[in-house]
Amino acid sequence: MKRIVVVAIVLGLVFLAVPSALAQLVIAPDTVAYGRTYSEWSAAWEQWSYSIPASQHPLFDNGDCSVGQSGPVWFLGGKFCYNGGTCSYTHVVRSCSVPVGKALYVAIFNGEDSALEESVAENPGNEAAQQIGFMRSYEDAGMSPSTVSFSVDGVPIMHLKNSFRVQSTAFVFTIPTDNLLAAIYPPGFNNFPAGSYYPAVDDGWYVMVSPLSLGHHMLHLHGKNGSFVLDVTYRLDVTK
């Protein structure tokens, strides 16, 4: 599916909408964080997601949040559905251990498109659909969640929808044989050979969160886009 809608557990906080102790966790979207802009981190988030075999993927609930993570920033996301279907769940609870000192770059609600998907499943033979401008326009049109709400440790996060939307830089990605695209697309539209591909783009809402304190943190999200509804709780344990 040309759009992979991902609603994520997020620690996003708008600076004047929450107590100052929480607001200090947020890294502003117009700054460079850990050597990259938000747009570059969005591309890196997708590269992380693409690279993981579906059978081990945290967003299919086949692996925990440590899978594929490295460096000073870890990625969190929501839920993928198999074979073009609607995920059969109403509430997801995940337990996740994160080493102290790790920042979190979290997709709140995002979508992606790639020339690979266009050429294999979406618009085979239409080279124009494989261009970056076409893919950006399509993703822009699809970014219309009616509800995105979040809390961290019981504190609601306000006004993120107007403040943290990000377009990624165009990026190259690498998929294994057991890849998420083959898992997500329905039979007959899932021939995605292992390899590296370019270009791809992402559009959506992201938040970069500075490292959290040692101990337990409870994160909750509710999101709705048309008939797609996701309600997720993360039980996050920050450890030494």
Question: Which tens digit of pLDDT belongs to each residue from 80-132?
Answer: 889 988 776 778 899 999 999 999 998 888 899 999 999 999 999 999 999 99
Burial of 36: CB neighbours in 10 Å, binned 0-12, 13-18, 19+ = middle
Contact of 100 with 238, CB cutoff 8 Å: yes
Helix intervals (H) in 24-82: 38-51
Rounded to two decimals, what is the model's pTM? 0.91
* pLDDT number for residue 86: 75
Q: Which two tokens stand for residue 182?
A: 């083959």
231, β-bridge pairs: 222
Contact of 195 with 166, CB cutoff 8 Å: no
Element (H, E) at 161: none
